[in-house]
Structure 1
């Protein structure tokens, strides 16, 4: 393999056209330049220069080597710059989160992407379990979860707390245990968990979700409130999911005596070295949800 240092010396010599100036440019002695060019000729078993004192002219083989070596050295310089470069808003950032916070966060991150054309955002909605698995398997840069990761290889930092809200059709002005039983539950992937948390804190008669008839189910976060808006049942959802629903006039959010919140954590693989673009997106998430403050 050709020594790249010899190639650089040879290309510099040809560029400046003089041994003394080449030596000055490379911070070498003139004899050092001559020795490296000679070693290059011996390695290739060809004559590259026709020497004329401190000046020279290229042979045909020398001209060929110069052209190819110059392209190669430029390519190596570009490679070095690309590897060393760590721009703040260029490249792909992959994120996963539960649906509710995603409904609030994703549009804000899209505004950031629109301002930085080289930034590519990959955002997926997923369950807590899927988020943790993706972090562990290095399929995403970071994620959001509503409880701390179970694996010791995942770091969890609490960002905020999001209120759980009881939502009924708009005509329900007052909530009692009996009219909740009559209305029935619109379930969703986290429905049993959310309902248990909120109702157990506010209704003495509540023992388990199985007491309440199930009237509907949806796994699409943006559609869970659709059957509620049509009078089919009630549900319990995090604040962001409720605020994102377009038909606010067809639903009613009820204030509970005992407020219940759900924490939000930013999770990433332990020991992962994050590039600047990921660090900046994390900072945007912190700013958007507010670090360890309740989300209102």
Structure 2
């Protein structure tokens, strides 16, 4: 196999036609250039340059090697650039988060991508466990979760809190337990979990009997307030899901006397090298949610 360092020296010499210029260009000594040429000739088993007094010319074998070798040297240079290049605004970044956070964050990141067209944002709405699994497997670059992971292969940082709110039809100004019980609960994938956190902190009746009449179910985070807006029930949702509803005049979000919120943790794999594009998106997420 041809030594690519010697080959680069030879091709540079063929282009400059001067040992001193070659040495200067490659930050070598003239004797170092001569040694590379002699070693390459020994490796190839042919003379590559014919010395004539203080000058030289390429032999026929040297001309052939230069023609073929130049393309190899250039290709290796491009390969090195591609491997070591780490652009901040180019490439794919894979993000996962709960649906509520995604409703706020994804449109913001799309606007950022529009400003930097070589970026490709892949966004998935997912529960905590799926996000953590994707991070550990390497199929996600950034994850947002509401439970701090204990996996030592991940690093996590608390970047903000998201309030839980009771959401009722617009005509209900002060939600008491009687009103809520009569309405019934519009459930969703995290509904019972969120309801338990918020209602148990504010209603003794719920603590005594943590059961709600179910008035419906929706698994699309952006549409959960829809049946509420039609007077079919109430629900408990994180703030960002409420803010994203397209008909806010038809619902009312209530901050109860004992506020309850979920901490948002930004998580990445623990690794020595984090691509600049991932670092850029991490900072944009912090800017939007902190």
Bucket of the pairwise TM-score, normalised by the shorter protein: over 0.9
Query: Residue in 2 aligned with 1:110?
Result: 110
1:288 aligns with 2:284: no
CA shift, 1:235, in A, is: 0.4
Asked if residue 73 in structure 1 is aligned to residue 80 in structure 2, the reply is: no
In structure 1, the residue matched to 2:263 is 263
Secondary structure of the structure 2 residue equivalent to 1:73 = helix
Assess, with a 3 A threshold, how the Cα gap between structure 1 residues 32 and 53 changes in structure 2: closer, same or farther: farther
Q: Comparing 211-220 with 96-105, which one deviates more in the overlay?
A: 211-220
- Distance in 2 of aligned mates of 1:71 and 1:57: 20
**Structure 2, unaligned runs of 5 or more:** none
Contact 1:157 1:265 in 2 (8 A): yes
* Partner residue, 1:222: 222
Aligned match of 1:91: 91
1:207 correspondence with 2:207: yes
For 1:278, the equivalent position in structure 2 comes to 278
Partners of 1:13 and 1:238 in 2: CA distance: 68
Shift of 1:39: 2.7
Offset, 1:71: 1.4
Unaligned runs of 5+ in 1: 291-296
TM-score relative to the length of structure 2: 0.92
Q: In 1, Cα distance between the equivalents of 2:272 and 2:59?
A: 52
DSSP 3-state at the match of 2:76: helix
- TM-score for both structures, normalised by structure 1: 0.91
Q: Report the alpha carbon displacement of residue 215 of structure 1 after superposing the two structures with TM.
A: 1.6
For residues 54 and 97 of structure 2, the distance between their equivalents in structure 1, rounded to whole angstroms, comes to 68
Tell me how many residue pairs correspond in the alignment.
Answer: 290
In the aligned structure 2, how far is the partner of 1:94 from the partner of 1:243? Answer: 24
* 1:175 and 2:175 aligned: yes
Q: Deviations over 1:190-221 (max 9, x none)?
A: 10111111111211111378521112111211
CA RMSD of aligned residues (A): 1.9
Q: Work out whether residues 97 and 124 of structure 2, in 8 Å CA contact, stay in contact via their aligned partners in 1.
A: yes
